[in-house]
Structure 1
């Protein structure tokens, strides 16, 4: 990160706070436009990255590059820190998702101390605090690179099903607003919708249609709660054939109409 002003985009959020305004904000499939590191220090759950579901426990570090579809459970016993690096981050960070199980006590302490140091410097007004935060952030990048190397590289899907679902998740993330259905996605991937659904169930326990609907409804919820965009326009932007069809799909998934959800958000 050569431009120290980019530090203003860096954010640290306690993982329980991510679900403070609804667990759907973390559990539904979505992607971010910036890199993110999840450091779980207590609790356990499941996390889905690029269509593949794995369990996580305490002392797991999960790095998710921008544009990668993901979602994870946040139960009442889950604690940790989410680090958002910002869209303008130029740190050397992993290019593919990483799920690192940090078993060495020293490595756990090293990460905790580095995160504490960054936050301390960011909250300080002493001379050169921004430069110090920048250097500690560089050490975080080094820590990640070393742990990835120690783990043997990257999160890999060892079978054809995992590779296909990862391609589907990537294609879905880029085209979920298009109005395409599972059959169209499957055709674009060169497989049948039946085969794609079978592979999705194998890698994440959900059919291909669930991943698509989950991504669409997350986007709809976000637009309804965070913007004043009319319901009809949201339906059109997300590729629904009509506002009525969008309302039925939204209510089926959430139990509420779009208007009712917006009032309560």
Structure 2
């Protein structure tokens, strides 16, 4: 564990391990960028396959940098290539003999600061969007559990949640890999299977209890999802 008097950016391009920054330990992998402000204690394991670069911004850094540690997982090839190219440009200027090399290196450091700011904003927005999506699907699930017997469609639930059916379906696919209609139908048909197996209620009554528009529609929906008609399912049980 150590703390530096200047901010730095660690850019892992290969391998994996664990890094502790400010008392928080997380795993890192290829194309992870970890920004550490000056004075923040940190330390990390370096495995035999680990490879990367550390960029130091200097004690009197004139650039705008984050005030808090950042752990950025860069999944897209374009920003990966951008950062790698900027780090290589700094090295070329420092190792070369061209005029104004030090000033050019400092300017490239400024661009790295811009890259860092952009990626921090993007990933913060993604995290907030992901949190909002999880909250929306949780609310949808709660409404399903409360009202799945009422025969409402996805559009009805979406209206109650204040979103469009398309958005609700998209968010459900993102968070759990299933469409909003699939979740609704699965909940209704699970209850149908339970009633068929555990009660003697007629198929027509079960259909009405679960809000299907008709016994025929219930039978078609049940057969399409379960592979048997409700009557055959009850006989098999």
1:116-265 pair list within 5 angstroms? 116-152=88-124
* TM-fit CA distance, 1:130: 2.4
1:20-39 pair list within 5 angstroms? 29-39=1-11
* TM-fit CA distance, 1:42: 0.5
1:79 is aligned to 2:51? yes
Task: Between the two structures, name the one with larger relative contact order (CA 8 Å, sep ≥ 6).
Answer: 1
Secondary structure in 2 aligned to 1:37? strand
- Partner Cα separation in structure 2 for residue 50 and residue 31 of structure 1: 10
1:96 is aligned to 2:68? yes
- Partner Cα separation in structure 2 for residue 85 and residue 131 of structure 1: 13
Unaligned runs of 5+ in 2: 128-237
- Partner Cα separation in structure 2 for residue 100 and residue 81 of structure 1: 15
Report what 2:21 is aligned to. 49
Q: Write out the 4+ residue segments of structure 1 that deviate beyond 3 Å after TM superposition.
A: none
- Partner Cα separation in structure 2 for residue 40 and residue 143 of structure 1: 16
Secondary structure in 1 aligned to 2:75? coil
* TM-fit CA distance, 1:70: 1.2
* TM-fit CA distance, 1:128: 2.4
Q: Which has the higher Rg, Structure 1 or Structure 2?
A: 2
What RMSD over aligned residues (CA atoms) do the two structures have, in Å?
2.0
- Partner Cα separation in structure 2 for residue 74 and residue 106 of structure 1: 26
Unaligned runs of 5+ in 1: 1-28, 156-265
Report what 2:84 is aligned to. 112
The structure richer in helix per residue is 2
